[in-house]
Amino acid sequence: MSETVWRPADPWNEATITAAEEATVRNQARLLELRGQGHDQATIRETYLDLLGIAPGEDVLDLGCGTGVVARAVARRVGAHGRVVGLDPSPLMLSVGREIAEREGLLDRIEFRAGDARELPFAEATFDVVLAVTALSHTTDAERVVPALVRVVRPGGRIGILDLDTPSWIIAHPDQDLTRRIGIAGSMVATDGWLARRLPGLLEAAGLEDVRVRAFTPIEQDPTGFYARQAEIWADAAATSGAISREEREGWVATLHAEQAANRFLAGITHLFIWGRRSER
């Protein structure tokens, strides 16, 4: 009989995020905005939006939009005559997204809408571009979402998916053995942290043409940044799972803080961007 493998609850999964209390969602919203403000993240975002060729006047769907970091960048590109729809399962997260978009003068270009990626509430051929950024790896049965993305994009339209490859976590820490154990346990936090590796084949099977892949690895050295916070979250997950003890968790985090104080912090994770075009036939 195979041993049952413990998996932590994915805090970004649709079931978890819709059941979360407002304080929890707002904390996660702060993490999303913190990640989005990172220099590498901002550079990567502009690069993959360039690869998709998003132009003024286009209609764009941002699936799993969260607080709208990507939706706001897209809204600036499509201009006053374009339209961005940000779909997310959490009404509370969407409320935060509306607040930020209003502050930045972009709310008139973005429609924030609650919905499930697995049951897209849009007619066929609705959008010029469909985006899903670090969303599908947190989605239950994400493979069934891919054909739906192709359905709602117009003939000749583009689909782009950026997602985490969780086993590729990078962190500078002197305890290599303990760090490996934390990395394995932490990588299981995502509902499907290996999904990005299968996406090129899934998109081709769904009928996309000219499917391409590009890897990005955002790195941070800021001890107050997103990846510093993620490191402690993964250490918590490893301790909860029994992959490490609570004492090991405390020691590892204390050493991490010492490395940060000594200006030796470095962390990141590889993302894969997979994109293609729907046939015009």
pLDDT tens for each residue of 230-241 = 999 999 999 998
234: in domain: no
Question: Which has the closest alpha carbon to 143: 197, 68, 88, 216?
Answer: 197
> Quick check: 4 pLDDT over 80?
no
The per-residue pLDDT for 3 is: 45
Segment 187-246, tens digit of pLDDT: 999 999 999 999 999 999 999 999 999 999 999 999 999 999 999 999 999 999 899 999
The per-residue pLDDT for 188 is: 92
Segment 56-78, tens digit of pLDDT: 999 999 999 999 999 999 999 99
Nearest-angstrom CA–CA distance, 217 and 174: 21
Task: Read off the pLDDT band of 6 (50, 70, 90).
Answer: low
Instruction: Reduce the DSSP state of residue 157 to 3 states and report it.
Output: strand
Token pair 């994009």 in the structure block, residue: 153
47: in domain: yes
149: in domain: yes
- Terminal alpha carbon distance of the chain: 50
6: in domain: no
Amino acid at 248: E
Answer yes or no: are the C-beta atoms of 80 and 109 closer than 8 Å: yes
Give the CATH number, domain containing residue 29: 3.40.50.150
Task: Read off the pLDDT band of 2 (50, 70, 90).
Answer: very low
What is the mean pLDDT of the segment spanning 32-50? 96
31: in domain: yes
Range of the domain at 95: 14-165+191-219+269-278
* Burial status of residue 256 (CB atoms within 10 A of its CB: 0-12, 13-18, 19 or more): buried
101: in domain: yes
Segment 8-26, tens digit of pLDDT: 789 999 999 999 999 999 9
* Burial status of residue 154 (CB atoms within 10 A of its CB: 0-12, 13-18, 19 or more): middle
> Quick check: 1 pLDDT over 70?
no
69: in domain: yes
- Which DSSP string corresponds to 210-277? EEEEEEE--EE--TTSHHHHHHHHHHHHHHHHTSS-HHHHHHHHHHHHHHHHTT---EE--EEEEEEE
Q: Specify the number of domains making up the chain.
A: 1
71: in domain: yes
Nearest-angstrom CA–CA distance, 1 and 158: 46
